[in-house]
């Protein structure tokens, strides 16, 4: 089974019409995943066997707007990592809640150029700020060496939580899973007056395909039932249980629906805490069960 990822910021005048055509093409059980469309572009992650994925690629590039789409492929288990096929029209293909000029995004660095940001000891070179633009739980599971995170629960918090004054005179490099979030984040940072701004082209997944044994630590969180991609042969776990601190990388939502916090929890704490993230949430769940 292949997981195909792709995105492109491109003007789509009739996203609803395109959605109908894609739904007709992907109606068969051979496809599962999510395709998001908006007037600003397309963002997708779809699974299928080799024949199905090749057919989808051919169909997409037949549209002049997508003829230069960059496709990222990962091999996975002999089953779909997604539950169903969803094709939706949204206001944004990745929610940012801030209008930016996407023609003024950061310069793209190839995986080879990204590796050159590090010295021979595996440390970031001087005057470089490496920003992870993903959510907090993604960062905990794995990240590039020396990366900084701005404590985001969701990507749309980026504009509020980033301290521009701390990075104005630095070489700023950003990365995310596939590149789609960085495109907006780098454009925003440039509009705030930061001049030396870059992003990892096509994100973590493509980097892992080309440079699996280099400057990545841990695993890469993915938004499907796999939960994370190993990235390299080491498969090192760098995250800890949110409750007890034990080394683990199992993610789950808090059983308390009012909380629903996505957090890392070991099996022992899941059992003891009744699949909740805190004593308070556990009490809440137990009280509802007894009433």
Q: In what order do the strands lie in the sheet with 128-132?
A: 107-109, 197-200, 171-175, 128-132, 148-149
Taken in order 149, 45, 66, 95, is the CA torsion positive or negative? negative
Task: Compute the distance between CA of residue 183 and CA of residue 102 in angstroms, rounded to an integer.
Answer: 7
Tokens of 66: 């997508």
Q: What angle do CA 38, 40, 42 make, to 5 degrees?
A: 60
- Which DSSP string corresponds to 76-137? --SS-SSSSEEEEE-S-SS--SS---GGG-PEEE-HHHHHTTB-TTS-BPTTEEEEE-S-HH
- Residues annotated as catalytic are 176
């Amino acid at each position: 089974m292949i997981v195909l990822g792709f995105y492109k910021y491109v003007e789509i005048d009739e996203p609803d019409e395109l959605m109908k055509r894609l739904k007709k093409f992907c109606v068969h059980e051979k496809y599962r995943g999510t395709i998001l469309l908006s007037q600003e572009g397309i963002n997708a992650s779809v699974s299928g066997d080799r024949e199905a994925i090749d057919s989808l690629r051919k169909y997409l590039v037949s549209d002049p707007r997508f003829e230069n789409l960059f496709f990222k492929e990962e091999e996975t288990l002999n089953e779909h990592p997604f539950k169903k096929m969803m094709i939706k029209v949204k206001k944004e293909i990745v929610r940012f809640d801030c209008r930016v000029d996407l023609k003024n995004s950061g310069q793209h660095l190839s995986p080879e150029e990204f590796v050159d940001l590090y010295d021979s000891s595996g440390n970031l070179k001087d005057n470089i700020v490496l920003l992870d633009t993903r959510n907090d739980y993604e960062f905990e599971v794995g990240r590039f060496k020396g990366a900084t995170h701005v404590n985001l629960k969701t990507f749309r918090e980026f504009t509020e939580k980033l301290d521009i004054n701390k990075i104005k005179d630095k070489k700023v490099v950003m990365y995310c899973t596939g590149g789609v979030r960085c495109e907006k984040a780098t454009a925003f940072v440039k509009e705030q007056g930061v001049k030396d701004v870059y992003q990892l082209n096509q994100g973590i997944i493509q980097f892992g395909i080309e440079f699996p044994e280099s400057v990545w630590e841990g695993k890469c969180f993915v938004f499907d039932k796999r939960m994370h991609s190993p990235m390299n042969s080491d498969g090192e776990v760098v995250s800890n249980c949110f409750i007890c601190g034990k080394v683990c990388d199992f993610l789950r939502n808090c059983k308390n629906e009012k909380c629903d916090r996505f957090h890392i929890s070991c099996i022992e704490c899941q059992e003891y805490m009744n699949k909740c993230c805190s004593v308070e949430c556990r009490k809440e769940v137990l009280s509802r069960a007894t009433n």
